[in-house]
Structure 1
Amino acid sequence: MPNTARVIRSIPFWVLVGGSLVAVGGGVYLLVDKLTVMASTLADGTATGVEVYAGQIWAVLGAILIGVGLIGLALALTLGTIGSIARGVTPSVVAEEIDVVEVVEPVTSAAPVAETVTSPVSKTDEPAQAAPERPTV
């Protein structure tokens, strides 16, 4: 029997999805944080070389992380689609029609049932008397 495990139950699939989401989140944080710091210090006139030149590199790294995360999410979507197509369509179960035939028998008079009478159980613990021995001939 072939292995038909679902992609949704696969741990590497969820690691890919989780890692991609973390990469996108980290990239957005780096990009927004560094660009905000650069814009505010340049507007104030208090910008230093570290904030401007190093901030650009950090912003580029954030953009790269966003791109890698989006590629990972696209790959996870592709794997999910391929997994559902590869599993194939399971045939549906069709119930067969069953012909019901009712048998009607004429009523016949049944013989009377004999009653069975049981003897009452003795309330004494004495063993039953043995039958007298018959003489041998």
Structure 2
Amino acid sequence: MGFWLLLVLSVASAAVGGWIISGQIATMTSTLTDGTATGVEVYVGQSLVVVGAALLGAGVLGILLAVALTAVRALIPTAAPVVVEPIDWTAENDTTIDETPASPATTTAAPADLAADAEPTAPEAETATTR
């Protein structure tokens, strides 16, 4: 975007500068040759020619800068794009997520609960029944 903006503004500046120069030079030439030139046409015309020359020079410089940037961009290699396999949105998902929150009793098991689930041996049978 910035490159194109530089190019467009440079061309516009060069065009406006050229238009100002050609208009003022034509006016000064015609009035000086026929002898009807006034101080405003001659002295202000010279100042406007200088302003037009500055705009024309800035425009030409911008165009040359845009050309140089294009050449530098062409010399710098760009990274090759990585080909990624597209996502198949039509495939079914094998994993399901349980969206119900788990209660704290089901997520953590106390050692006593684990002992009650296992088959007690003879000494542990008395301990399990007295709890």
For the superposition of Structure 1 and Structure 2, which TM-score range results when normalised by the shorter chain? 0.5 to 0.7
Counterpart Cα distance in 2 of 1:35 and 1:78:
32
2:45 is the counterpart of 1:55: yes
Distance 1:89 1:81, change over 3 A: farther
Residue identity matched to 1:77: V
Q: Which structure's residues are more often helix, by fraction?
A: 2
Task: State the partner residue of 1:24.
Answer: 14
Residue identity matched to 2:39: G
Task: State the partner residue of 2:69.
Answer: 79
The root-mean-square deviation of aligned C-alpha atoms, in Å, is 1.4
Give the alignment's TM-score, normalised by structure 1. 0.56
Task: State the partner residue of 2:28.
Answer: 38
Residue identity matched to 2:32: L
How far off is 1:88 after superposition? 5.1
Residue identity matched to 1:76: A
Any runs of at least 4 consecutive aligned residues in structure 1 with deviations exceeding 3 A, and if so which?
none
How far off is 1:44 after superposition? 1.1
2:2 is the counterpart of 1:12: yes
Provide the aligned length of Structure 1 versus Structure 2: 80
Counterpart Cα distance in 2 of 1:58 and 1:66:
12
Counterpart Cα distance in 1 of 2:52 and 2:29:
16
Residue identity matched to 1:48: T
Counterpart Cα distance in 1 of 2:61 and 2:28:
28
Counterpart Cα distance in 2 of 1:88 and 1:13:
17
Counterpart Cα distance in 2 of 1:86 and 1:57:
44
Residue identity matched to 1:67: G
Question: Structure 1, residues 97-135: CA drift from partner, whole Å, max 9, x if none?
Answer: xxxxxxxxxxxxxxxxxxxxxxxxxxxxxxxxxxxxxxx
Counterpart Cα distance in 2 of 1:23 and 1:34:
17
